[in-house]
Amino acid sequence: MSPKPITSPVPVTWYPTLAVSMLAIGLVITASFFIYEATSSRRNRSLAKELTTGAFASFFLGFGTLFLLLASGVYV
C-alpha cells in the first residue's frame, strides 16, 4: 500500500483569482470599517458591529494573503 500524495482541495489555477477577489473584498470591508469609525459618534457605536466587521475583514485578508503567496510560488 503506497501513500497518496497530498493535494490541494482548491485547484492551483484558481489561486490568482481567489487572491485578487478575497483581497479586494477584505479591503472593501476594511474601508467600510474605517468609514464607520470616522463617521459615527462614540455613543452610537456598536461593539458587535465592530467585531463582526473586523472578523470578516481579517478572514478575507488572511485567506487572500495565503492565496497570493500560493499563487506566487511560496508554498506555506
DSSP characters for 23-34?
A: HHHHHHHHHHHH
At residue 76, the pLDDT reads 83
In sequence order, what are the residues at sequence separation of 6 or more whose Cβ sits closer than 8 angstroms to the Cβ of residue 32? 53
19-51 pLDDT per residue, tens = 999 999 999 999 999 999 999 998 999 999 999
48-73 pLDDT per residue, tens = 999 999 999 999 999 999 999 999 99
pTM of the model: 0.86
Instruction: Let me know: does 22 contact 1? Beta carbons within 8 Å.
Output: no
List C-alpha distances in Å: 29 to 21, 40, 44, 73.
12, 16, 20, 27
Structural domain spans, the chain: 25-72
Provide the 3-class DSSP secondary structure of residue 74. coil
Is residue 1's pLDDT more than 90?
no
